[in-house]
Each structure stands twice: as structure tokens, then as C-alpha cells.
């Protein structure tokens, strides 16, 4: 064990301050005289982007990096809904880091997909925080199993690229807690990341890099984070304020400027040196955790490439498959159309851009399986019609058994650094697809994109296979899936709305550049579309297979629980088709207690099962209070009200197969001071006051008149109860049932019950 505290005692103030910012673009500073090495960090998240420091460095993916393996980006990885797969991929990334002497991989990125327009959506997992948190935790466990750290980013509410370095995300605390912080919370609590990267943006007016509430109160004090907070590259505003708020490492180098500010602050007494010492201790712990636990790892690019193909197979989502158009028959005559068949788009632009060791394309990977003709159809890098290409593609599709069009977004359409302008595919691609579908009844479209697109031709094609940006194995995976060598098993971790303006953030995204108002609150993605009963193109959780699954036998361990107890939910799933396949069983919770404005349902569990034909397996979920709770700002805590809840088990958010109800009894007493204005419903909801107040309500003249009274023709007892619930306590005086003095005595009695 190293004596970190002894090293700190030996450090000069300048050395300590120096450790709080980078040496250069990718290294922390060394303190050679004390044996502290200057370790390297690199992007991430879905591959290693290690830049050669003898050449130019940048954080925007401009300069080249070493050859590495590009695994599926988060948009595809999330569609796998496969924790084990992501842990395996994480471990391979960790091996690559060890082999290349990289101490921290800058990812995963767990920001929530608020709008389909965010330029970095391809790097993010989901519109749902449960999916994002669970999958991020899985990756982190994999990477860190190789003694390499991660940096969970971009903390927090960093959901757009427009003015990303100064925009303020304006959201209420409930929305932040339930949606935008939740995935970070899961990642921190379940996987103990070595570092968290704070975002560029402000939250409610405060830069994330100097937000004490965010970096210390929530992250460390509440969630128990014990690693380092690293700034996003250039995210520091006021370095000394940031240090005191909980920002440990500024990246990249500040050229010594901010180190000097820290020294000055300690000298003039505005920063307590003990704060700096705590930060330095955390940084040294990070450095030695890596340096003292090196693993001899090999970076076997070929083996990792095979793993990338395997991962890509799990990420593809079969969105539509009419008349069993897919899989295509071996030996059939098929037209492949679109440059993406030769040059798949498999990753996005910016800091996550990997220099791939190898790229498989669908055209070459199909060799020997079918008679293929190829036509380019359109340029892959822009929205431009090139004379003759559409006509040539249409001719090639005529009379064939099927046509497969490889469509998708050009690089320029989605990237780090700016947002998308619209949700459309290039117009030339839409035109080509319509033209081919007009002559070829078996038209199949393969999509390469990092975020949802509008699909105006959906009714005209037989099948759509969403490949997302599936890494360097995307092409071979597409060929295997198209010809049935593998069975698609991905599900959408986001909704495909019919059109952009349906999206709940549409009116406020991306804001005016100064603020981005999250006025849709917790109603993002399916939480909104479901509540509004809107049609969508493809719902959250949707994804088809070449086989079929039957759900049965939903069991709850108990239909009545306290909020301190856990609930076990089990459901059987059988493969009722003729092929081996995988199904992601989804568990949603619905709150029927009417205590807060909530979505109709929220995903709280998922399990991916692999099933042979005829095989049946049981998916099991354990739910605790948090799965049922909402964030109650009045008590600054998660709250699960007493009453009825429903468990919904689905193959997608809009394909609920089974459901079961349960009752939960809350043990959480909401502190309450009864006054004349306290509402009856609040008194009834509190077990300590409910009994007394029930008696008063039932004795109200509205109730006691009896059903035969003429008044009951106008107001029956049920109606009276509904009215009473929302009346203040003093209303019982209004009905002449109680004197002022007696009312005040009743208030004292209720308050003493609560305190007792």
C-alpha cells in the first residue's frame, strides 16, 4: 500500500496545484522527484482513440489516432439491451487501454436523448434513464475489470450541441433527478467509476464545472462517489471555485495559468489548503490505482474485430418485416443499392472517432451467399442527386428476387459539435427508395444512423433493418442478418416519432443559445407519447425477430408490500417459432395512486433471454421502493405513496403482454403541520390523521342526508366525497358542523398525533 498522505506532505504547494490540471492534451502531470507518474487518458467511448503526441492533438476527432477496434456506438449498443455483451466489450476496451498504456478511457456517455436532433445522440444510450444507467454500469464493470478507469460523461444535463459550452439547461429538480441525473446515479452506485467528467454546460445558471450541489452534495455525499471529477476538455470557467465545488482535474493543460490561480488562492487564504490536499489525494489515488495494477495485456486486433462483429449482430433492430421478406434466401438474385453497402457508416464524428483496424462491408460479406448486383444509387456523403444513378439503381432492382437499399445519414448530418437541422434522411435517398419500391415488391432498407429518422416510405417497403452505427463489424453483421445466418434481437432504446414536431422538446429545443428550457419536464420520449396517446412510427422497446415469443405466467412474490420490502416479479417466455432467437422482456411500472403527475408507465427492468425453438425460460426481476417512487421536491426525497401500482410486462412499450396489480404501503411519513388550510386528501393520506378525519368527513351533512333525501338526487355521497377531498380542513366549519374553537382544538389534536 502506498502512503499517499506522506507523498502529499512532501509536495510543494506548486506541485499540488499543478497536479490539478493536465500536462498536455492527454496526460496528467508527473511529479518525478516523488515517483508520481504522469498517466495518459484517451477517448472513448466505443473504441480507443489514442493520439500520437509527436503529431497534433485535438479533442474533436480531427487528427488521426492509433489503429484500434471500433465497437458499436452507444446508439447501437443500447439496442442490444444486453448487459453481458457490454461488459465483454468493456473488458476488451480495457485490454486495449492496458496494451497502449492508457489509464482512463473517456466514456461511457450517458446523457439522455432529449431530442432526436442532438448531434451526439449516437454516443448516448437512450431516452430512458434506466436503460442508460444499466448499460453504462455494464460497460464500466468490463473496462475497470482490466484495472483501467472510465470517465462517465457529460455530467449533467448536457443534451444538445448547440452552444454546448455556455448554454444553461433549465430544469426543475424532479426532472433532473428522475431523468437527467438518474443514469449517472446508477453508474456511480453500481459500477464505481474511477472518474466522472463534468459537462461544458450550466445547469440552472451554474456551470457544471463549479456546481457544488452537483459535484459534491449529490455526486459524493448522496451517491457515495469516491473517484475524481475531470472537466470536459475546456469546460473550466472559474478554476478556484470549481476546485472548492468538487472539480479535481482540469483537462487539458491550462499552461500553468490556473495552477497559479490555485496557488494564489491558498496563499491569500481564499482557498483552504486542506481542500486542495483532499483533491490531490483523490488524484494520487487514481494515478496509483492504475500505475500499481498494470496488467500485461495484448491488443489482438483480429480477435477484437471478431468481437466487434458479434456485438454488431446484437445491436440491429428489425423494425419491419412484412410477409417474411427477411431473411433473404441463399442463392437468390438480389440488387444491393447504395454506397453504404461498400462503405458502411459505422461511427460518428468528433472526439469518439476511431481509426478502425479493419472494416467489413456488406457487399463483400455476402459473397457466395447470393447472386448480387450492385448500384451506387446516391452519394453516401451528401444529399445530392447524381445524374443517372437513380435510374441505374431502379433498372438493377427490376426482376430480382429482392432489392436491398443501404441508406443512412451522411457524416455531415450528425456529429459532435453541432446539432442536426432536421430529422430527415437525405431527400435523394427518399426519392431513390420510392423509385425502387415502385418496381421491386421485395424492397428492404438497411439503415445506418445514430438517431431516429422520419421514414415517409415505410408503407412501400417490405422490411427495414436498423443497423445504427454498429462499429467496424457492421457490414458483415448486416449481411449475416439479411441472409438469416443470425437472427435480429435488438430493441429500440428510443422512440421513432412520426415527425420531429411530435417530440416533446420540439418547442424549446435547442433554445436561444443562452438557455435551454426543459419545459416538458419528466415527459420525455415514450413517457410523453404514451400519456398523450400519440401514434408513433416505432415505439420505445420495439424490435422484431425471425422467430416468435409467447409470454405467460406472470407472478408477483406478494400483492401487498411495504415500501421497505422488495418485490420479485417472474414471467415465463417461450420461443414458439422455428428459429433460435433472443427476446428482451421489458418491465414497466404504472402508478395508480394519483399522488403526482406521472407518466403512464416507466421502464424499471429488462432481461434478454436466448431461446432455442420450443424452449421456455423465466425472466426474474427484483424491484425495491425506488422502482415505484418519484422525486418529491417537498421532502427532497424519493417518495412512493401508499396505494395501487401495476406491473406491466411487454415486448415493447406498446406491446404489453401481461399485467398484475399490487398494493404498496408507504412507511415514509411526510412531515406535515396541520392548519385550517390543510387539505382533506392530505389528512386522509397520512396514516396518523386518516382515522380522525374520516370520522368528520362521514358526518358531514353532505353524507348524512342519506340517499333518500332530495339533495342526493343532485349530489350523491360519492360526489360529495370527491368534493370534500380537495377542500381545506376549515370547510367542516363552513357546513356549520363545528365551532371555531372546536376546529382549533381538532388542529391541535391532529398535530399532536403527527408528532406523537
Q: How far, in Å, CA of 440 to CA of 158, rounded? A: 44
Q: What is the secondary structure of 365-407 as a DSSP string?
A: HTTTTSEEEEE--S-TTSS---TTHHHHHHHHHTTSSEEEEEE
Min dist CB 251 to ligand BGC, Å, is 7
- Which is nearer to ligand BGC, 197 or 493 (by Cβ)? 197
Q: Please give the DSSP secondary-structure letter assigned to residue 163.
A: T
Check if the beta carbon of residue 130 is closer than 8 Å to that of residue 103: no
Distances in Å between the Cα of 270 and the Cα atoms of 210, 237, 260 are: 16, 17, 14
- Which is nearer to ligand BGC, 153 or 625 (by Cβ)? 153
Helix, strand, coil share of the chain (percent; to 5):
35, 20, 45
- Which is nearer to ligand BGC, 228 or 318 (by Cβ)? 228
Q: Which residue is nearest to ligand BGC (CB)?
A: 59
- Which is nearer to ligand BGC, 59 or 542 (by Cβ)? 59
Annotated catalytic residue 232: yes
Min dist CB 236 to ligand BGC, Å, is 13
Residue from 130, 153, 353, 542 binding ligand BGC (CB under 6 A): 153
Number of residues that bind ligand BGC (CB under 6 A): 8
Reference 652, options 474, 526, 517, 483; nearest CA is 526
Peptide bond into 44 cis (omega under 30): yes
- Which is nearer to ligand BGC, 416 or 602 (by Cβ)? 416
Q: How far, in Å, CA of 321 to CA of 466, rounded? A: 12
Q: Collapse the DSSP code of 271 into the 3-class scheme (helix H, G, I; strand E, B; otherwise coil) and give the result.
A: coil
Which residue is associated with the grid cell 440491429?
A: 316
- Which is nearer to ligand BGC, 349 or 511 (by Cβ)? 349
- What mask of x and - would describe binding to ligand BGC in positions 65 to 104, judged by CB under 6 A? ----------------------------------------
- Which is nearer to ligand BGC, 231 or 547 (by Cβ)? 231
Q: CA 604, 605, 606 angle in degrees (round to 5)?
A: 145
Catalytic residue among 211, 232, 248, 502: 232
- Which is nearer to ligand BGC, 321 or 352 (by Cβ)? 352
Min dist CB 45 to ligand BGC, Å, is 8
Min dist CB 508 to ligand BGC, Å, is 23
Min dist CB 102 to ligand BGC, Å, is 13
Min dist CB 257 to ligand BGC, Å, is 19
Helices (H) and strands (E) in the chain, counts: 24, 27
- Which is nearer to ligand BGC, 152 or 394 (by Cβ)? 152
Instruction: Give, rounded to a whole angstrom, the gap between the first and last alpha carbons of the chain.
Output: 51
Q: How far, in Å, CA of 343 to CA of 608, rounded? A: 31
Min dist CB 165 to ligand BGC, Å, is 9
Residue from 31, 106, 492, 746 binding ligand BGC (CB under 6 A): 106
- Which is nearer to ligand BGC, 59 or 527 (by Cβ)? 59
- What mask of x and - would describe binding to ligand BGC in positions 647 to 676, judged by CB under 6 A? ------------------------------
The H or E element that residue 665 is part of is strand 655-665
Min dist CB 91 to ligand BGC, Å, is 21
Residue from 59, 202, 241, 476 binding ligand BGC (CB under 6 A): 59
When asked if residue 43 is in the footprint of ligand BGC (CB under 6 A), the reply is: yes
- Which is nearer to ligand BGC, 16 or 353 (by Cβ)? 353
When asked if residue 21 is in the footprint of ligand BGC (CB under 6 A), the reply is: no
- Which is nearer to ligand BGC, 160 or 361 (by Cβ)? 160
List the interface residues with ligand BGC, window 329-358 (CB under 6 A). Answer: 351
549-556 and 567-575 strand pairing: antiparallel
Which residue is associated with the grid cell 453500481?
A: 190
Q: How far, in Å, CA of 34 to CA of 647, rounded? A: 58
Nine-digit cell string for 451: 438517431
Q: How far, in Å, CA of 318 to CA of 460, rounded? A: 16
- What mask of x and - would describe binding to ligand BGC in positions 294 to 333, judged by CB under 6 A? ----------------------------------------
List the interface residues with ligand BGC, window 499-528 (CB under 6 A). Answer: none
Q: Please give the DSSP secondary-structure letter assigned to residue 213.
A: I
Check if the beta carbon of residue 280 is closer than 8 Å to that of residue 5: no
Min dist CB 352 to ligand BGC, Å, is 7
Q: Collapse the DSSP code of 450 into the 3-class scheme (helix H, G, I; strand E, B; otherwise coil) and give the result.
A: coil
Min dist CB 59 to ligand BGC, Å, is 3
**Which residues are paired to 43 by β-bridges?**
49, 106
Check if the beta carbon of residue 180 is closer than 8 Å to that of residue 157: yes
Q: Quickly list H helices, 57-181.
A: 74-79, 83-99, 129-144, 173-175
List the interface residues with ligand BGC, window 177-236 (CB under 6 A). Answer: 232-233
What's the chain's length in residues?
Answer: 756
Which residue is associated with the grid cell 448554454?
A: 167
Min dist CB 487 to ligand BGC, Å, is 34
List the interface residues with ligand BGC, window 550-579 (CB under 6 A). Answer: none
Interacting residues of 293 by C-beta distance below 8 A, sequence separation 6+: 147
From the CB of residue 416, how many other CB atoms can be counted at a distance below 10 Å?
20
Nine-digit cell string for 407: 441508406
- Which is nearer to ligand BGC, 200 or 336 (by Cβ)? 200
Q: How far, in Å, CA of 707 to CA of 717, rounded? A: 8
Q: Which segments within 592-737 are labelled E, that is strand?
A: 602-611, 616-623, 630-632, 637-639, 643-652, 655-665
Distances in Å between the Cα of 364 and the Cα atoms of 248, 328, 401, 478 are: 49, 16, 19, 11
Nine-digit cell string for 158: 448536457
- What mask of x and - would describe binding to ligand BGC in positions 231 to 270, judged by CB under 6 A? -xx-------------------------------------
Interacting residues of 569 by C-beta distance below 8 A, sequence separation 6+: 554, 555, 556, 557, 587, 605, 620, 621, 622, 623, 647, 649, 660
Min dist CB 351 to ligand BGC, Å, is 3
**Which residues are paired to 660 by β-bridges?**
647
Q: How far, in Å, CA of 643 to CA of 628, rounded? A: 11
Min dist CB 154 to ligand BGC, Å, is 6
When asked if residue 136 is in the footprint of ligand BGC (CB under 6 A), the reply is: no
The H or E element that residue 535 is part of is none
| Catalytically annotated residues | 232
**Contact positions vs ligand BGC (CB under 6 A):** 43, 59, 106, 153-154, 232-233, 351
Amino acid at each position: 500500500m502506498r502512503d499517499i498522505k506522506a507523498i502529499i506532505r512532501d509536495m510543494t504547494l506548486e506541485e499540488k496545484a499543478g497536479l490539478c490540471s493536465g500536462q498536455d492534451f492527454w496526460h496528467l502531470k508527473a511529479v518525478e522527484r516523488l515517483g508520481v507518474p504522469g498517466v495518459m487518458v484517451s477517448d472513448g467511448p466505443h473504441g480507443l482513440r489514442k493520439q500520437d503526441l509527436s503529431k497534433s492533438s485535438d479533442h474533436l476527432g480531427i487528427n488521426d489516432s492509433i489503429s484500434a477496434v471500433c465497437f458499436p456506438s452507444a446508439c447501437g449498443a443500447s439496442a442490444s439491451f444486453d448487459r453481458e455483451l457490454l461488459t465483454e466489450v468493456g473488458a476488451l476496451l480495457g485490454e486495449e487501454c492496458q496494451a497502449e498504456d492508457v489509464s482512463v478511457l473517456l466514456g461511457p456517455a450517458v446523457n439522455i436523448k432529449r431530442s432526436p436532433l442532438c448531434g451526439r445522440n449516437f454516443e448516448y444510450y437512450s431516452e430512458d434513464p434506466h436503460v442508460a444507467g444499466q448499460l453504462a454500469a455494464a460497460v464500466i464493470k468490463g473496462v475497470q475489470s482490466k484495472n483501467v478507469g472510465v470517465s462517465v460523461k457529460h455530467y449533467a444535463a448536457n443534451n444538445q450541441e448547440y452552444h454546448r459550452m455556455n448554454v444553461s439547461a433549465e430544469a426543475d429538480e424532479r426532472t433532473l433527478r428522475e431523468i437527467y441525473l438518474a443514469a449517472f446515479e446508477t453508474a456511480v452506485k453500481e459500477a464505481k467509476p474511477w472518474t466522472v467528467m463534468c459537462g461544458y454546460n450550466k445547469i440552472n445558471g451554474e456551470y457544471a464545472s463549479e456546481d457544488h450541489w452537483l459535484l459534491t452534495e449529490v455526486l459524493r455525499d448522496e451517491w457515495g462517489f469516491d473517484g475524481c471529477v475531470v472537466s470536459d476538455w475546456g469546460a473550466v470557467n472559474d478554476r478556484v471555485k470549481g476546485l472548492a465545488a468538487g472539480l479535481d482535474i482540469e483537462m487539458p493543460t491550462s499552461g500553468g495559468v490556473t495552477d497559479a490561480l490555485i496557488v494564489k488562492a491558498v496563499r491569500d487564504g481564499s482557498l483552504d489548503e486542506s481542500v486542495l490536499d483532499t483533491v490531490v489525494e483523490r488524484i494520487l489515488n487514481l494515478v496509483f490505482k492504475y500505475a500499481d495494477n498494470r496488467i500485461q495485456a495484448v491488443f489482438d486486433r483480429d480477435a477484437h474485430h471478431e468481437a466487434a462483429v458479434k456485438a454488431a449482430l446484437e445491436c440491429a433492430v428489425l423494425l419491419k418485416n412484412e410477409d417474411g421478406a427477411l431473411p433473404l434466401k441463399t442463392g437468390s438474385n438480389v440488387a444491393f443499392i447504395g454506397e453504404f453497402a461498400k462503405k458502411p457508416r459505422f461511427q460518428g464524428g468528433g472526439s469518439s472517432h476511431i481509426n478502425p483496424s479493419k472494416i467489413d462491408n456488406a457487399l463483400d460479406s455476402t459473397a457466395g451467399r447470393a447472386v448480387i448486383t450492385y448500384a451506387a444509387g446516391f452519394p453516401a456523403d451528401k444529399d445530392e442527386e447524381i445524374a443517372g444513378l437513380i435510374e441505374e439503381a431502379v433498372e438493377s432492382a427490376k426482376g430480382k428476387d429482392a432489392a436491398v437499399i443501404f441508406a443512412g445519414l451522411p457524416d455531415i448530418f450528425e456529429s459532435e459539435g453541432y446539432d442536426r437541422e432536421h430529422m430527415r434522411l437525405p431527400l435523394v435517398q427518399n426519392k431513390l427508395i420510392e423509385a425502387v419500391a415502385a418496381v421491386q415488391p421485395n424492397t428492404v432498407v438497411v439503415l445506418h444512423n445514430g438517431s431516429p429518422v422520419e421514414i415517409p416510405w415505410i408503407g412501400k417497403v417490405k422490411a427495414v433493418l436498423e443497423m445504427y452505427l454498429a462499429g467496424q463489424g457492421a457490414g458483415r453483421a448486416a449481411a449475416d442478418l439479411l441472409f438469416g445466418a443470425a437472427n435480429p434481437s435488438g430493441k429500440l432504446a428510443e422512440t421513432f416519432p412520426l415527425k420531429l414536431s411530435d417530440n416533446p422538446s420540439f418547442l424549446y429545443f435547442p433554445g436561444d443559445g443562452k438557455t435551454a428550457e426543459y419545459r416538458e419536464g419528466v415527459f420525455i420520449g415514450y413517457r410523453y407519447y404514451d400519456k398523450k396517446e400519440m401514434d408513433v412510427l416505432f415505439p420505445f422497446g420495439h424490435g422484431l425477430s425471425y422467430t416468435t415469443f409467447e409470454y405467460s405466467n406472470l407472478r408477483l412474490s406478494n400483492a401487498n408490500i411495504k415500501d421497505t420490502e422488495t418485490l420479485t416479479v417472474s414471467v415465463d417466455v417461450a420461443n414458439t417459432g422455428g428459429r433460435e432467437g433472443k427476446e428482451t422482456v421489458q418491465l414497466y411500472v404504472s402508478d395508480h395512486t394519483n399522488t403526482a403527475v406521472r407518466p403512464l408507465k416507466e421502464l424499471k427492468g429488462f432481461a434478454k433471454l436466448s431461446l432455442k425453438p420450443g424452449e421456455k425460460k423465466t425472466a426474474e426481476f427484483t424491484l425495491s421502493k425506488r422502482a415505484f417512487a418519484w422525486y418529491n421536491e417537498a421532502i427532497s426525497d424519493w417518495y412512493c405513496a401508499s396505494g395501487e401500482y401495476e406491473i406491466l410486462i411487454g415486448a415493447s412499450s406498446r406491446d404489453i403482454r401481461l399485467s398484475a396489480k399490487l398494493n404498496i404501503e408507504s412507511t415514509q411519513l411526510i412531515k406535515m403541520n396541520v392548519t385550517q388550510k390543510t387539505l382533506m386528501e392530505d389528512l386522509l393520506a397520512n396514516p396518523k390523521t386518516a382515522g380522525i378525519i374520516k370520522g368528520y368527513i362521514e358526518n358531514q351533512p353532505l353524507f348524512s342526508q342519506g340517499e333518500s333525501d332530495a339533495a342526493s338526487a343532485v349530489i350523491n355521497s360519492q360526489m360529495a366525497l370527491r368534493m370534500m377531498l380537495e377542500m381545506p380542513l376549515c370547510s367542516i366549519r363552513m357546513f356549520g358542523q363545528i365551532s371555531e374553537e372546536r376546529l382549533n382544538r381538532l388542529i391541535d389534536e391532529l398535530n399532536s398525533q403527527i408528532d406523537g
